[in-house]
Chain A
């Protein structure tokens, strides 16, 4: 049972002029379950870090106070904190050891550690033995393991920062179910940050919205908050129930075929089973093909193969005449030949940034394929304007927000005017506003006659964009045909 009091709390990271969090007053009673919302940049994550005692005094400037049961959070007197990325919160190589890590830090007597480890793993529905390697788990299993590790020392308050954003729908549902079981005792409080509100609502009894300029904009029961403020929250990028994206009604039919996978298979070096086998599909000009499947179904591998970045193990990737391809298969094209025909947009935009300025980033591709300086300038200026990046032309790509980075990574792929774009999870972890921008951008590209192959597990994206879907299951492809409506 833990009570949280935040009084006049502000935080400014060292070296920044703007406050990350400003003038927040918040009281959370023991066992209360709060959904914390707010536009990008309102300071949700920074506030959680403050509540968890993870903002060292020498890393910024602070005003106000945060008290857990009357004392500042530190050491073992902290709430439990589940982060977004499972990879960077698992500490140990074996599952049981990882759950035990927090208990060891709390000085739990050894004879009480292992019973507690077993108990918390059962609570979160973890299906594997204690000595299973933490690397041999799916993302959803890793996240449930991390939840068990956070719960083991029995914190009175849980902080969850987008705990399901990295997971496929099935894995995310299991993690939410586990969180629900944990809260069922009614004694553990929670503060949850989550973009996808509809899925989080069954878990919460209070909604708090941080205002962009500081302070708290709205605070109250979910029904009341969304009835009175739904429209303005949706406009700020919050996924409010009932304010979701309108599905497209116009469907496109493809033109000339661009690229086909023929009996395509691939096995990662050293892997016991192939990531893909017997995949057959074709992407045509002017259509959006969605490739669906769970995490680990081989979707990302298929994107790399279609993008001419990996050499097929079995079968082939065939570039059709509409691409006026070189005689060799795509994975053996020179990079410049590839980038002017097939553009690839990776899941993490930062993987693709090569230069230190947004403008240089856009100019890189056109220069590589031999455009003149005047042509390069024209392309860069047009893309900066079209994707609303003009004011950021001189900024370092690494310093952009998530939505800006996504727009830039699509823009860099467009700069060489490829006929086919292969995109891996283009809407991953985005708020509603960025999501809408991305969908509109991609829809426009298909309408202009480009072919799109979109690897995703975002069901809303499929509903809004896809003309056809192919589902991968255990590395094989199942053509689901055209999206009817």
Chain B
């Protein structure tokens, strides 16, 4: 069983928030950042997110382990856009072959890296602090997602760690049969493809058995379901949502006020 280490202990305030209002707050913030291509809006959004993180009761170690691919991705986006900017604007610092390093391309690269971070960071934190069961419950009860879809996806999600174990076992089983790829990339590709096929065959069978077991317990019945767990929207949930909207407005407001605002559409 290899679940990622939880980013927050169960029972800390951020994990007890209603998942729907928490994700709605994140969605509003992301839309605000998406709406403009300037660097100021995402910078304010990131600063705001970072400012509330210490109060969320997160564990820095596991959080950083989740975040580093995102940080790396954002940095890569930034560097690539700085180096391969289509046109040099502002002061030209370096011009060598396809590389053109100018003040304009630096700004554009930084803005893109900030946008990636500003959109992904709040969402990642929100999902990392949300119990999948609570999320499925709230999607069904408060967003009216069909139970068959939400709870089915939840049950399938439970089987995911099995896939990782199975993948490893399939690889070992192939080695035991005398099959390894050695250094040849073609053999590697073929081995990967046949192992993946075996993994999928197993996953489809397991999924089928799980679906049958769920129906055997009345999941396919037309009787209206009841829900054992309640997730009321409390005042703190509304406050979190209001906070998300406020931060979105603040980010756009500061951007407009300093004259950096460049809307994505219609600018």
Contacts and interface: CB of A to CB of B under 8 A. Distances in A.
A351 B170 contact: yes
A149 interface: yes
Given A87-B162, A87-B206, A104 B176 contact: no
A83 B213 contact: yes
Contacts of A412: 177
Given A81-B213, A97-B228, A346-B169, A339 B219 contact: no
A353 B199 CA distance: 12
Contact of A93 (B158, B173, B176, B202): B158
B2 interface: yes
Interface stretch (B14-22, B69-77, B178-186): B178-186
**Contact count band on A:** 35 or more
A354 B194 contact: yes
A336 interface: yes
A340 B202 CA distance: 28
B178 A365 contact: yes
B221 interface: yes
Contacts of A110: 226-228, 230
Interface residues of B, number: 52
A152 to B, nearest CB: 9
Contact of B172 (A310, A336, A340): A310
Contacts of B234: none
A416 interface: yes
A304 B172 CA distance: 8
Nearest to A335: B180
A309 B176 contact: yes
A49 B162 CA distance: 26
Nearest to A75: B221
Given A91-B155, A101-B217, A150-B217, A364 B226 contact: no
A270 B2 contact: yes
A120 to B, nearest CB: 13
Given A104-B226, A270-B2, A354 B217 contact: no
A344 B224 CA distance: 51
A334 B226 contact: no
Contacts of B263: none
Candidate in B201, B202, B220, B222 with the most chain A CB atoms within 10 angstroms: B220
Nearest to B208: A88
A94 interface: yes
A265 interface: no
Interface in A286-311: 304, 307, 309-310
A253 interface: no
Nearest to B182: A334
A81 B217 CA distance: 8
A484 to B, nearest CB: 33
A386 B76 CA distance: 60
A149 B212 CA distance: 15
A461 B210 CA distance: 31
A91 B151 contact: yes
A76 B221 contact: yes
Nearest to B4: A270
Contacts of A81: 213, 216-217
B132 A93 contact: yes
B249 interface: no
Contacts of B209: 83, 85, 88-89
A104 B154 contact: no
B144 interface: no
A51 to B, nearest CB: 11
A276 to B, nearest CB: 16
B145 interface: no
Interface string A358-391: 0000001100110000000000000000000000
Contacts of A134: 158
Nearest to B176: A344
Given A97-B228, A307-B176, A365-B177, A105 B198 contact: no
Contact of A338 (B131, B178, B198): B178
B228 A353 contact: no
B133 A269 contact: no
A365 B219 CA distance: 46
A121 interface: no
A105 B225 contact: yes
B228 A352 contact: no
Interface in A99-121: 100-110, 113-114, 117
Contact of A369 (B1, B155, B178): B178
A110 B228 CA distance: 6
Nearest to B215: A54
A97 to B, nearest CB: 6
B95 interface: no
B223 interface: yes
A338 B179 CA distance: 10
22 contacts: A75-B220, A75-B222, A75-B223, A88-B159, A90-B158, A91-B151, A91-B213, A91-B217, A101-B214, A104-B225, A110-B226, A135-B158, A309-B172, A335-B176, A339-B176, A346-B173, A351-B170, A351-B173, A364-B177, A364-B178, A365-B178, A413-B176
Given A76-B223, A78-B216, 18 more contacts: A81-B216, A87-B159, A89-B213, A91-B158, A93-B131, A97-B228, A100-B228, A106-B218, A110-B230, A113-B226, A113-B228, A135-B3, A135-B161, A335-B177, A339-B176, A344-B173, A350-B198, A352-B176
Interface of B: 1-3, 131-133, 151, 154-155, 158-159, 161-162, 166, 169-170, 172-180, 182, 194, 198, 201-202, 206, 209-210, 212-230
A-B interface, 8 closest residue pairs, ranked by CB to CB distance from nearest:
A75-B221, A339-B178, A105-B218, A368-B178, A335-B180, A89-B213, A344-B176, A100-B228
